[in-house]
Amino acid sequence: MAEAKALPAHLDPNSALSRQRSVFFDFDRTVVRPDATSIIQNHGKYLADNPSLAIRIEGNADERGSTEYNLALGNKRAEAVRQALKLAGAREGQMEAISYGEERPKATGHDEAAWAQNRRADLQYPTR
């Protein structure tokens, strides 16, 4: 009888690493908030412990602002998370920062609750 192989934490939907993959930002800000410290530390250590893994950091913005502004804002947010992950142990070559601006909202409403969900950087690991 074959033993079931445990999923790596980044692929296991029950792991904290999989459940906590978004870093949220304040309106028009690119500073990583203190409430994201544990997320950054967990992912940074995981990447440091798994040097063959890579991650894509996807910056996002809410719908307010021009398309160009929101793309730039999303990029600055992704870069802020990339720098924080680097300080937490991740290597430069393991990370790619990109921006989707307002194009990939997590919430579809047009109020502060929805906008707060859309001001974020998502951490995406390879699925294979």
Residue 124, strand partner residues = 56
Which parts of the chain sit beneath pLDDT 70?
1-4, 128
The pLDDT value given to residue 7: 87
The pLDDT value given to residue 127: 74
| Structure-token pair, residue 32 | 């990583």
The pLDDT value given to residue 3: 54
Task: Delimit the domains of the chain by residue range.
Answer: 31-124
The pLDDT tens digits for 14-39 are 999 999 999 999 999 999 999 999 99
Kindly provide the b/e burial profile for residues 74-112, where b requires at least 16 CB atoms within 10 angstroms of the residue's own CB: bbbbbbbbbebbbebbbeeebbebebbbbeebeeeeeee
Place of tokens 């913005």: 61
CB 73 within 8 A of CB 101: yes
The answer to whether domain 31-124 has CATH 3.40.605.10 is no
